[in-house]
Amino acid sequence: MIKEFIDERPMVSLFTRPRRFGKTLNMDMLRTFFEKTDKDTSVYFRDKKICSCGKKYRDYQGKYPVIFITFKDVKFDSWEKTFEAIRELFTKEAYRHIELRTSKQCDDYDKKIFERFLAGDMNEVELSGALMNMSRMLHKHYGVAPIIIIDEYDIPIQQGYMKNYYDKVILLMRNLFSGGFKDNKHLSYGFLTGILRVAKESIFSGLNNLVIHSVLDQKYSTYFGFTSEEVMEMAQYYGAEDKYKEICEWYDGYRFGKNEIFNPWSVINYFSNECEPRAFWQSTGSNDIIGEIIAEADKEIYEKLTFLVSGKSFVTYIDTSVIYPQIKNNPSTIYSFLLVAGYLKVLKTEPSFNGDFMCEVALPNKEISFVYDKEILQKLDGMIPQSIAVSVQEAVYSGDSEKLREMLQRLLRQSASVYDTVGENFYHGFMLGVCALLGDFYATSNRESGNGRYDLQLMPKERSLPGILIELKYGKNCSETELKKLSKIALQQIKDKKYDTDMFEKGVKEIYKYGVAFSGKNVWVTLE
C-alpha cells in the first residue's frame, strides 16, 4: 500500500470500506511510516516488503510531521457533546505536538492559537480552522508540510443524522476539511477513511485533488481485509488447513474491485475461538441505519431483504456517493448503503450513468446471513413486543387462526399510526415484518406459483415443519362481516390459483393457507 501511494502520490485519498476491515490499522501504519519523530520507527518496517523496494521508498520513512485524528468514538446523542468530543480530539493532537508551544519558527499569533488548542476551549469558528492552523504551524516548525490523516470521518455525520443534529455536524466538517484539504499550501498529502463517500454533501466541495477508492474500485482493493492467499497462510500456521472451506463459507465472499476478500475481524476471531464459526462481525457495533431502513420499509424493501436472506440475488442501481438523508426516500440508496457498509456483495457490475453502476447483489456469506436475521429481527423487536412475537409464532405453527387474528390486531392497535394504515402496501410490509420474526422459514413475496403470484410464502427450513401461504386483502371502512368475507375471498384465491404448487414440488407435505383481511386497525384471519 505504501509503495503504491509513493508511486502515484495523490494529494488527498479517500478510502471507503465497511467497519472492521482494517481502515484504522492501515492509517496507523501510514502514520508510523511517514511520521517524523524522535523515535526510530524504521524498526517496524525492516522485515516488511516496503524496505526491500529500494532507497527511493525508504527515504520517505520518518520524513513528515503528521496530524492524526480518528472520529471512530464520536457517537453522542447531542450536538453539544459531539462538538466537545471533536474539540477534545484536537486538544489531544495538540499535546502530541507540544513542541509547537515553544517553537522559534512560530510567531505569537500561532502560539496564541496553539494555546487555545491546549486549553480545549476553542469555539466553533476556531475549531473549523483547526486543521489549517495546525498544519501551518507544523510546516513552519519542521520546514516540511505535514500529512493529515482523518480516520472514520463519517461517524459523527451518521450520528448527527440519527440524532437530529445533521446540519450542524455537516457544516463543521465542511469547514474543517475545506481548510485542511482544499488549497492548503501547508499540506503534503491527505488520507481519509469512512464507510460512506459523502461527496454530494459538498464536504469536499471544490476539492479537485481528491481521489476516491470505494469497494467497487480496483486500486488498493487487496489492502483492506484478507486475500485468499493470506487466509490460507493463516490456516497453515494454525494447523487448520482442513477448515479453509468452512472459513470461506462463513467469512469470504466480499468483492472489492475484482478481488475476493475475507472479513479480517471475523477470520482472526475464528482462529482465536478454536475454529468455531460464529457471527463475530455483529458484535463490533450496531448500524442504526438498519433500523431506519426497517422503520421506513415498504413492500418492495421487505420483499428484497427477505429475498436476499433466502439466498437469491437481484440487480439494482448502486450510487457509491449515497448520502444519509437519501436512505429513507430512495430504495436504490438503501442497497447502496448496504453494499458499502458490508451487508452485500457484488456479483456483476455494469457501468451506469454519472459514473455509477448497475450491480447484481447478494449476501456475501453465512455470517452476514446470520447478521441479517439478527439485526433485522432486533430492529423489528423494537416495534413488536417479544411476548406478542412469540404468540404470533405459536399461532402460525399451530394453525390457530383466532389467536393469529388477535395478535395481529393487537400489534396494529399498539404500534401502527392511523396515518400508516392507509393502503395495501402498508399491510403487505407489516406482514412481511411479522413473518421475518419466524426464523424457521424463508419468507418470499409476490412470486409466481401455480397460476399466479402469491402475496406471502413461508418455506420451512426443515421439511418437518408446515409451509405457510398468506394472501392479503384490504378494504376501507369495512364492517366485521365484510372483513370475514374478504378473508374468505383471499383464502379461495390461494386455492383457485394453486399457490401451493411451488411448495408441493419442493417436498413440503403440510401447508397452512391463511386468508387475511385488513381495514384500518382491524383484521380477520381465515384458515384452511
Give the count of domains, the chain: 4
Residue-wise pLDDT for 366-378, tens only, equals: 888 777 766 655 5
Residue-wise pLDDT for 28-51, tens only, equals: 999 999 999 888 888 888 888 888
User: Are 447 and 496 members of one domain?
Assistant: yes
User: Are 315 and 413 members of one domain?
Assistant: no
User: Are 17 and 113 members of one domain?
Assistant: yes
User: Are 116 and 38 members of one domain?
Assistant: yes
pTM, two decimals, is 0.73
Looking at residue 132, what is its pLDDT? 95
User: Are 268 and 317 members of one domain?
Assistant: no
Looking at residue 42, what is its pLDDT? 82
User: Are 356 and 471 members of one domain?
Assistant: no
Amino acid at position 79, single letter: W
Q: Stretch 51-70: mean pLDDT, rounded?
A: 89
Supply the CATH number for residue 150's domain. 3.40.50
Looking at residue 492, what is its pLDDT? 92
User: Are 292 and 264 members of one domain?
Assistant: no
User: Are 394 and 252 members of one domain?
Assistant: no
Q: Stretch 387-391: mean pLDDT, rounded?
A: 72
Give domain status of residue 58, yes or no.
yes
Give domain status of residue 222, yes or no.
no
DSSP characters over 436-462: TT-TTEEEEES-EETTEE-SEEEEESS
User: Are 66 and 208 members of one domain?
Assistant: yes
Amino acid at position 489, single letter: I
Q: Which of 233, 521, 183, 213 is nearest to 340 (CA)?
A: 213
pLDDT band at 123 (very low <50, low <70, confident <90, very high): very high
CA distance 484 to 487: 5
Q: Which residues constitute the domain of residue 272?
A: 228-278
Give domain status of residue 89, yes or no.
yes
User: Are 107 and 242 members of one domain?
Assistant: no
Residue-wise pLDDT for 235-248, tens only, equals: 999 999 999 999 99
Give domain status of residue 221, yes or no.
no
Give domain status of residue 379, yes or no.
no
User: Are 437 and 307 members of one domain?
Assistant: no
User: Are 439 and 402 members of one domain?
Assistant: yes
Looking at per-residue pLDDT, the higher value among 62 and 139 belongs to: 139
CA distance 17 to 23: 7
Give domain status of residue 375, yes or no.
no
CA distance 38 to 29: 17
Residue in the structure block whose three cell numbers are 384452511: 528
Provide the CA 25 distance to its chain's centre, in angstroms. Answer: 19
pLDDT band at 419 (very low <50, low <70, confident <90, very high): very low
